[in-house]
Amino acid sequence: MAYQFEASTVTGFVQQLAVGYVARGYWFYVTGRVPERKDPLAVDAKLIKKYAIDQSKWARARRKKAGVANLQYLRHDRFFIIVATHGEHAFFWEEPFKDARRAPVRFAGYSISYRGGHALVRLDRETYKNLKGHFLDLAMRRSVSSLAEELGRIPFEPYCGVRRQVLNIHRAVNRARQQGGLAEVPVSALRLQRRVVKVFV
């Protein structure tokens, strides 16, 4: 099977990065955007060839045993990321890489890191702050059904970290409504189960 790297959706990109790569030790990364004047497929081919990323799972196992880093490449639209495991590789000499254990990957409002032995997906600080502010602004001006509908349409997958943040927003909304003598929004309005999607089409 040809090497697959182009995620068809934001949801698929985040799922593959967090669950498929970061959770499996691909902690070191660089990100970039393909310039408008360039063909994304040409950039893909150049980077994959440069770092010999297109490897079989058996080759990756041999490389790991020999102390050589493995790399993966992932792109959605014009945003791309190269991720690497521990080991020797030209990637570490040529790229200004970051470590997801210390500097989360930020993409489309998400923050993806590695903490406490597992991948952690949250809303980035600005996105969370804006979303909370939006719902607090509506808390006293909307009906329960209207708020419930809008809370249920929050367009971020409820990974554990995201779920905690959405529940915090829900509690803040209900505190405001309680103080104003208004009915609370039931927690059942929230989408708390993550969808597993097909990443590559």
**What are residue 114's DSSP bridge partners?**
119
Is the domain of 14 the same as that of 113?
A: yes
The CA distances from residue 34 to 27, 127, 134, in Å, are 22, 24, 32
Copy the structure tokens of residue 190.
Answer: 């929230």
Residues of the chain with pLDDT under 50: none
Last residue of a domain, one of 98, 117, 136: 117
Dig out the tokens for 89 from the structure: 């590789």
The string of pLDDT tens digits covering residues 93-103 is 999 999 999 99
Q: Is residue 30 part of a domain?
A: yes
Among the three residues 75, 98, 117, which one is the final residue of a domain in this structure?
Answer: 117
pLDDT at residue 1, rounded to an integer: 62
Q: In this structure, what token pair is assigned to residue 189?
A: 């309005």
DSSP state of 53: -
pLDDT per residue over 120-159, tens digit each? Answer: 999 999 999 999 999 999 999 999 999 999 999 999 999 9
Confidence (pTM): 0.93
Domain boundary among 117, 135, 165: 117
Residue 37 lies in a domain: yes
Alpha-carbon distance 38 to 194, whole Å? Answer: 35
Angle at 130 between CA 166 and CA 182, to 5 degrees: 60
Tokens 């994304």 identify what position? Answer: 40
pLDDT at 120: 98
CA pseudo-torsion sign 2, 9, 16, 103: positive
Could you tell me which of 195, 118, 198 has the C-alpha nearest to residue 155?
195
**pLDDT at 56 (0 to 100):** 87
Range of the domain at 140: 125-189
Q: Are residues 34 and 89 in the same domain?
A: yes
